[in-house]
Structure 1
């Protein structure tokens, strides 16, 4: 079923098989290219906007991390009456962070920002791949509609020809019945193709918030069928994929958390400066004090241990992500290579032979040398060959979309927005 829905590039074949009049309806409106679809999805995707807003949130946390502790102003009064010896003490206390806590907080906030940007890159890569797959699915459905219309037109012509030959007494009425059944089947195939096309176009439009099927004609992306590099070259690019960059950013973030936990083990110093006034003796004294917690019980050992274990987990997750991506990359590359071999074989041998056999059958039928069953068999073989070709194109371009989730195969289109309000 998926081979019917994920086909790309059928225009290359059908442009030579479908009369120009049958394609005229597709040129009455401005077509939608794959690049335009990706850009529309990038700027309209709520999911991408959500992760992009995380970057702004992390920026606010970075500002907060660089702030120093506020001083504290206090008033102490001993006694309530000035005649009985009331004492007032005014003092200003300033906490002083030791152990590099502020720098550690800043580094952690910087790592959080990098991690948020990594989430944006991963989400954008996934969105580009998903939109590409949806576009190819809709394009496949569009070409299946064209193919079904051609099949129906051909079946109608065959039915008319059979009717004329039956009227002339040259063939049995059974041949006309067969042609009518074939035409009815072609009509049902067109109805199903139209329904599939509407569903595929609705799924595509949903990526930019559309609720109705996208009605603009779709175009074959300008992608070279021989452009996929070797698996070894793609694997070398995997280290710079958005997924692996985010995994490394997660490790760096957890390491920064360890540094902050170590800094928190050092107690902070509080310096106090003030004045003490005795109303009865009318004496004013300067007050100076220093306070420091004694780390006898709480040395932040639990937080440090958790932070160290999170670093280990982040490294394990990065290893798992690499193995997962490498396997997916190898699978997609293998599918692409197999599909490419099938495409080459179909173009060079199978499609020309099927087209030649069909043309010979039609000519022989018109001359009375072949029966209508021979035309039906040749037609069935030709359309099955086209379907196989479309299926190979489907597998090839779908695997390309899967490759683009991890590495840049060709120049990717579309730039993800980081601040929607600034657009």
Structure 2
């Protein structure tokens, strides 16, 4: 279970409750400041290999709407999808065009006195609704391109929301790591004072040094995660991490998701399902076009023939029509019909997949919010209280340092789980918005 490791702070707090009364009756001492002037400390060799995290570059704060505006204005993938939609309009225009007439010239004989020359215009006449079927197919393809652009916009919105949330969590992890490093420094200072007073063996200071070194490593990793998250967000508009500052956002949680029945109704208008439906429309339009091609198109001719031998002009009328003896377009018709059947089944499959993804995302959102609430309201306060009691009791000689380390580890784990559950909830919320094509973004 997700909370199996969180029972330890509660048990530890209960075990130390009796001792806390005695500790509280004692004269409380203010937390000592870190002792940086003793080069002979036990932690000097350990911390020598832990670099102090560099400060983050100073940049203007960034909010979710600002990040969204930047991404919409400069994201290459979105711009490419929009150009694709514009290009599809040219296909619609071309589908409306009728066949061009043909100008033909022929000559019989080469001698001037006996030759005859013919000049005529040939025009193909489309029958069977081929032009209308071709226009419907082009319009369906144009609709597909517009839906592709809409889907690209929804996907970009999901990426902006997700990466902005990841940056927020990385910043929170950094703040937490700084607090942990400060707590570890206080613990080390307390251990050194007790070692100097001869109340505990030097091993206690060594353990505290290891704990502080681990806290410094955690702080360095958290700083690196913030820089990486900033670069990931800025890459959506081809920017750099240097132009992304601290996130600015309200801390209000999004409203609870609606029930599955309501979400399934909304799913019918989602970009992904509309795309699958448009693919079916394209397949059917293609089938109609291939069926219209069964009817052969005649070519009519009108011209004039000059016969030098008789010395006069003659009107030439003609008509030609292909004979479907060898090619009746049966193969293309069969292929188009089966493509339509395939698109219909793919639409059903896509609907089932989206429903399953929507159900999973909703369950993840509900569960993660519940766990984050429980961790924030119950587990974290108990873990913090247990750690404070253990540290104060250690300073007064009531507990050994293993109790402090145990309480510290429980506090670290509880805080990390709290951040992870909040991140999972935000990711699930963004996934639901992507599946439904909705968002709180402007």
Fold match, TM over 0.5? yes
Instruction: State the shift of 1:230 in Å.
Output: 2.1
Q: Name the structure 2 match of 1:156.
A: 185
Instruction: State the shift of 1:108 in Å.
Output: 0.7
Distance in 2 separating the partners of 1:227 and 1:30: 32
1:252-275 Cα offsets, whole Å, 9 max, x none, are 111111111121111112221111
Q: Name the structure 2 match of 1:218.
A: 247
Distance in 1 separating the partners of 2:155 and 2:286: 29
Taking a change above 3 Å as real, the CA distance of residues 55 and 409 of structure 1, as seen in their structure-2 partners, is: closer
Structure 2: state its 5+ residue gaps: 1-54
Match of 1:38 among 68, 71, 74: 68
Distance in 1 separating the partners of 2:370 and 2:218: 29
Instruction: State the shift of 1:290 in Å.
Output: 1.9
Instruction: State the shift of 1:149 in Å.
Output: 1.1
Q: Which runs of 4+ in 1 moved over 6 A?
A: none
Query: Given the two structures, how large is their TM-score scaled by the length of structure 1?
Result: 0.84
Matches within 5 A, 1:359-378: 359-378=388-407
Distance in 2 separating the partners of 1:57 and 1:354: 60
Report the more deviating stretch, 93-102 or 341-350: 341-350
Distance in 2 separating the partners of 1:224 and 1:197: 22
Check the 8 A contact 2:59/2:243 in 1, yes or no: no
Report the more deviating stretch, 136-145 or 243-252: 136-145
Distance in 2 separating the partners of 1:89 and 1:174: 113
User: Secondary structure in 2 aligned to 1:98?
Assistant: coil
Structure 1: state its 5+ residue gaps: 1-24, 414-423
Match of 2:277 among 248, 264, 267: 248
Q: Name the structure 1 match of 2:112.
A: 82
Instruction: State the shift of 1:362 in Å.
Output: 4.1
Instruction: State the shift of 1:185 in Å.
Output: 1.6
Q: Name the structure 2 match of 1:279.
A: 308
Aligned length: 388
Instruction: State the shift of 1:134 in Å.
Output: 2.5
Report the structure number with the largest CA radius of gyration.
Answer: 2
Q: What's the C-alpha RMSD, in Å, of the aligned pairs?
A: 2.4
Match of 1:294 among 319, 323, 347: 323
Distance in 1 separating the partners of 2:398 and 2:57: 40
Instruction: State the shift of 1:374 in Å.
Output: 3.6
Distance in 1 separating the partners of 2:259 and 2:230: 33
Distance in 2 separating the partners of 1:402 and 1:358: 37
1:138 aligns with 2:167: yes
Matches within 5 A, 1:93-108: 93-108=122-137
User: Secondary structure in 2 aligned to 1:99?
Assistant: coil
User: Secondary structure in 1 aligned to 2:302?
Assistant: strand
User: Secondary structure in 1 aligned to 2:119?
Assistant: strand
1:321-378 Cα offsets, whole Å, 9 max, x none, are 1111111111111111111211221233212222333333344445554444444333
Instruction: State the shift of 1:212 in Å.
Output: 4.8
1:68 aligns with 2:101: no
Distance in 2 separating the partners of 1:276 and 1:409: 69
